Structure 1
Amino acid sequence: MRVITALDAHHRSAAPCLLFVCAGISLCVTAVAHSNLAEHTPTLEGFVHGLAAQAAFLCVTVAMLLQSWWLRTDPRWRARFPLAFALALTSFVALWVDVLWHGMPRGLEQRVVIALILEWLLLATLWLRRHRAA
């Protein structure tokens, strides 16, 4: 079986892929472990949920930054670099705003970060589908 990749071998790294895998595993742990409730005593399971959620956010945003950065090295993908990197950087900054500043309701901050991540992933999917069709 021949694997077809969008970026040439010398224009890519395994790091984004590994970070996306770690993010996926962390997201699975987040889904399985129940979060702590405000009116109850904190539990180990709630701690694991919170830690896994933060790991998922951090891994996926760093993977997006790295993958976007690699786009600039490939002539076929270089034109897509500015938008991909800007969106990845905005997601990364939004994550740190969520972690460090608690001015907005907690759920709203997290939803903004999730929306930015999904926008980057959908954009990357669209670009890859177009690349494959060409």
Structure 2
Amino acid sequence: MRLAIILAAVSLASPLLAAEPWELITSIGYEESEADGEWKVTKTIPDALRTQADSFTITGYYVPVEAQAYVSQFLIVPDPADCPFCGSNGYGPTLEVHVTTPMPDLAEASEVTVTGKLNFDESTETYRAVYLTDATLLGTN
């Protein structure tokens, strides 16, 4: 009973600890600045996201980046409408995925679940903040 109370208190105190993977990714803060003609972006990555980095599992929709029979790199998005190469809905959250073993190409917008190591791009020259490496495809729908 005491453990349940402690876990409930931790969850209430830190809502990001129980957040879904896409909620954590979209909670990354970005601040643009320019000084002496040089643009940069500073990213603030939530601690709750950093703590999951060694084993990060996420479900999203498959977006190929190259037309190949077998792929080792692709994007996933939380909603097919967020595809950065499709339509005119703008650019939503994306996660770049690098799998350890090339896998057969899938139909665009297939729902996939992947797991791997979440890496953080601290560069001030890009909006990319996270990407997944050493990934494995857990399943498709």
TM-score range, shorter chain: under 0.3
- TM-score, length-normalised on structure 1? 0.24
Please state which structure has a larger fraction of its residues in helix: 1
Q: Which has the higher strand share?
A: 2
